[in-house]
Amino acid sequence: TLPQLTQALEETLAQMAHDGETPDVITFAGNGEPTASPIFPEAIAVARQLRDRWCPSARIAVLSNGSHADRPRVHEALMDVEDNILKLDTVDAEYIQALDRPVGAYDVSHQVETFASFGGRVIVQTIFLAGTANGRDMGNTGERYVGPWLQALERIHPRGVTVYTIARDTPEQGLRKASPEVLDGIGARVRALGIPCSVSY
Task: Give tens-digit pLDDT for 84-129.
Answer: 999 999 999 888 888 777 777 789 999 999 999 999 999 999 999 9
Instruction: Tell me the whole-structure pTM to 2 decimals.
Output: 0.92
For the chain, the distance separating the N- and C-terminal CA atoms, rounded to the nearest angstrom, is 37
Measured distance CA(95)–CA(97) in Å, rounded: 5
For range 138-143, the mean pLDDT:
95
Q: Percentage of the chain with pLDDT > 70? A: 97
pLDDT bucket at 169, cuts 50 / 70 / 90: low
> Phi and psi dihedrals of 86, rounded to 5?
-115, 140
Minimal CA–CA distance to 124: which of 43, 177, 186, 195?
Answer: 195
Tens-place pLDDT, residues 181-201: 999 999 999 999 999 999 999
pLDDT digit string, tens, across residues 4-40? 999 999 999 999 999 999 999 999 997 779 999 999 9
What is the rounded distance in angstroms from the CA atom of residue 59 to the CA atom of residue 53? Answer: 13
- The residue count for the chain: 201
State the pLDDT at residue 31: 75
Say what angle helices 143-156 and 108-116 make with each other, to 10 degrees. 40
Average pLDDT over every residue of 47-73: 96
CB atoms within 10 A of CB 26: 22
From 59, 97, 101, select the one nearest 81 (Cα to Cα): 59
